[in-house]
Chain A
């Protein structure tokens, strides 16, 4: 069970990385993810039930997620719709698209092929295939991201998030950067949606509800626990943060808390994480004061 949670944490980590692209690097919240996440799952599961290979179906899911991000990007930059609103619009539109794609609210993968079958021959113990899928896809994403952010385009992307006005004065097309960011980010979110749908064995129209919290939790836990980091370490910290968050939920379930209050408990934990740096500073001040008094 620990293993399966770690595996799921890895895959949720991709979601965290996707949200990091917009929330931290570009400094804006993108609500599209609550739509692109179930959309990726729905298209992937539909593809598989239509006889596609799971890998192709997963990539198709990623493609559709990128399309959703692109739409938000165009609404935001070309249509001058505020980013939150643009994201919410695409998110709620996704609901209908999912119903159109699947022709039903949920679709099961029972007795169908999954991406997990790729590792069937390795004869792994239970749930290790999930870990393997997580490790492979997370590594791939991080390597690609690091590569992208080192290129000239990537540097321009980071500069846009740091200081948009300055970036524009350097001749960077900031609108283009935002569109690229939203597209890549939602592609990654859809990837985690597609992989988790295969892991859960079904896709469903309302799977996206509340996932933005899971993504933000990964980012915040990673930042709070590990402090100041280089870019490559920050990406790893998000994935570790995501695993820790899933382990935390597991712990809450294991401790036998009434699971009706699961969301409240995780909110309390997240809020405490967010307050931790402030608490640390206050504590340091007190200690310093006391030593001065002596």
Chain B
């Protein structure tokens, strides 16, 4: 080989590999002593209001249980910004920072974490069905190093609410991204629950955010109500959905409260912030050794808050019954 630079660089890389090999072979893995300060590694898949709220909630949930930043808690935070080629490296970075526990926000982040460790406990934030995503063996008895909070939304209560607001409701369209596990599962549940209530539910999957505006146009001429599952792609493009649907006088029922504030009509939603708080509390319990991931069932919220967007109702000319308005926990 004539090129000295290339040869040198390859030798350097080989030496690094060999040196680490030797040192790691000799090193008897020392058990980490119980440190005063605990490190929580958080990996978030992408930024949008719903997931950001969860992150905020996690910090407050930890604080509620006595873990506060700069006192006895260090948070290492990584955000993949939807670039999956980096998630693996970011997971390893968190593990390398000697995180005592890991939190994955949204499914791809959780999968990346789960692939990197079977020892460090992992708490899932905002994964609809961890069992279906093969993250845990069983939602009731996870069995491994993973447990967490499900963001399964109360589809039945949501459809009941829709019928209460729109008594003549017949056709519902579900708009979701075909690139997300969560949404597909939830869309199928809407179809099943809708059938029980005599509604015609049709699924409208989109391959990426670029097809959303045409799809909403099509839906606007075919359905009475657009239902949005907890879907990262749609959440990111919420404004365009709202714009087109409102122009065509079609109300939107999202499954997340933050999306009602962005222009949805109403929902029975799990408060994303509460979801984060619950995740934070669960994390704290495991940190304190009060519970073990293997025996902690996946936490599922049984009831949600009724959230109504009065402005949007006015725009669409929909009259919300007074008793509903009274019972709603949040209105805008």
Contact = CB atoms under 8 A, between A and B. Distances in A.
Interface of A: 1-6, 8, 95-96, 99, 104-106, 108-111, 125-126, 128, 131, 199-202, 204-207, 209-211, 214, 225-227, 229-230, 233, 236-237, 240, 243-244, 246, 249-250, 253-254, 259-260, 262-263
B9 A240 contact: yes
A99 B177 CA distance: 12
A236 B10 contact: yes
Interface in B99-117: 107-108, 111-112, 114-116
A105 B181 contact: yes
A229 B178 CA distance: 46
Give the top 7 A-B pairs by smallest Cβ distance, nearest first.
A201-B115, A125-B24, A108-B134, A105-B179, A226-B6, A1-B96, A202-B111
Interface string B1-37: 1110110011001001100110011000000000000
Contacts of B47: 260
A2 B16 CA distance: 9
Given A1-B96, A126-B24, A262-B86, A240 B6 contact: yes
Contact of A105 (B10, B88, B134, B180): B180
23 contacts: A8-B88, A96-B207, A105-B177, A105-B178, A108-B133, A108-B135, A110-B111, A125-B21, A200-B87, A201-B111, A201-B115, A204-B108, A206-B84, A207-B84, A209-B83, A211-B85, A229-B6, A233-B3, A236-B6, A244-B9, A253-B90, A254-B93, A259-B86
A110 B6 contact: no
A78 B78 CA distance: 47
Interface of B: 1-3, 5-6, 9-10, 13, 16-17, 20-21, 24-25, 47, 78-90, 92-93, 96, 107-108, 111-112, 114-116, 133-135, 177-181, 184, 207-208
Given A108-B111, A125-B25, A259-B78, 14 more contacts: A95-B208, A99-B178, A105-B180, A125-B20, A201-B114, A202-B111, A205-B179, A209-B83, A240-B9, A249-B86, A249-B89, A253-B90, A254-B93, A260-B79
Contacts of B108: 106, 202, 204
A8 to B, nearest CB: 7
Nearest to A4: B92
A4 B116 CA distance: 11
A3 B2 contact: no
Contacts of B208: 95, 206
Nearest to A236: B6
Contacts of A249: 86, 89
Contacts of B133: 106, 108
A128 B85 contact: no
A263 B85 CA distance: 11
A206 B78 contact: no
A256 to B, nearest CB: 10
Contact of A204 (B5, B78, B84, B184): B84
Contact of A227 (B5, B17, B83, B92): B5
A154 B135 CA distance: 46
Contacts of A202: 108, 111-112, 115
